[in-house]
Chain A
Amino acid sequence: GENVEQHPSTLSVQEGDSAVIKCTYSDSASNYFPWYKQELGKGPQLIIDIRSNVGEKKDQRIAVTLNKTAKHFSLHITETQPEDSAVYFCAARIGGGSNYKLTFGKGTLLTVNP
């Protein structure tokens, strides 16, 4: 099955700096890659996603890039703010058929210091 590795496990940045979180996946048939933000004690919130026919997607301060050849994708947060502090999860879905399953990375705890 699919395996998703996420790095780093913790990341601390100063307010205003950029943050980058990277994920690699094992199955070249994967075609959908969402990113979730989870605040303490809450459910994960979908913040951005990308499909395999696109190399980059941006939404205000958040962007995701996908390198299908290398089988990795990254989350970029610019101009970080204290409210960006949370755990971020990447995930991948293997395409084809009626497969609805997402495989998640283990998460990155991002701390933005004021």
Chain B
Amino acid sequence: DGGITQSPKYLFRKEGQNVTLSCEQNLNHDAMYWYRQDPGQGLRLIYYSQIVNDFQKGDIAEGYSVSREKKESFPLTVTSAQKNPTAFYLCASSSDRYEQYFGPGTRLTVT
């Protein structure tokens, strides 16, 4: 099956710990994105990458880091510097500047 996978579906961490969320796609898409979704809010862009070994900050990049070493993978690290890390995290990919396709999401809870 072609698509975007995110793992795990649920993730629990203690405050002060870094955590890495996985995103993999087998759609051969060049661009990948990370969004954060909070209750009652739209999707806010954290980071995006248009090509391997290159990425740009989105609107809320503080406290997050990413890497893009392979076309298929775009992991997101939520660092201890992120003040409110509990949220639903969504990964997306696109083959051009238009349609973006989303993965199933990872719900992160930090206590």
Contact = CB atoms under 8 A, between A and B. Distances in A.
Given A34-B100, A105-B42, A100 B90 contact: no
Contacts of A46: 99-102
Contacts, number: 63
Q: Would you call the interface of chain B mostly helix, strand, loop, or mixed?
A: strand
Most buried by B among A41, A44, A106: A44
Contacts of A99: 97
A49 B98 contact: yes
Nearest to B58: A101
Contacts of B98: 32, 34, 49, 51, 93
Interface string B91-111: 010100111111111010000
Interface of B: 4, 6, 31, 33, 40-45, 48, 50, 58-59, 90, 92, 94, 97-105, 107
16 contacts: A4-B42, A6-B42, A9-B40, A43-B6, A43-B92, A43-B102, A44-B43, A46-B101, A49-B98, A51-B98, A89-B43, A93-B97, A93-B98, A102-B45, A104-B44, A107-B41
Nearest to B97: A100
A32 B96 CA distance: 12
The 3 closest A-B pairs by CB, nearest first: A43-B102, A104-B42, A106-B42
Interface residues of A, number: 27
A45 B59 CA distance: 22
A95 to B, nearest CB: 8
A100 B30 CA distance: 11
Given A43-B92, A100-B50, A107-B41, 10 more contacts: A1-B59, A9-B40, A34-B99, A34-B100, A41-B107, A45-B102, A100-B97, A101-B48, A102-B43, A106-B42
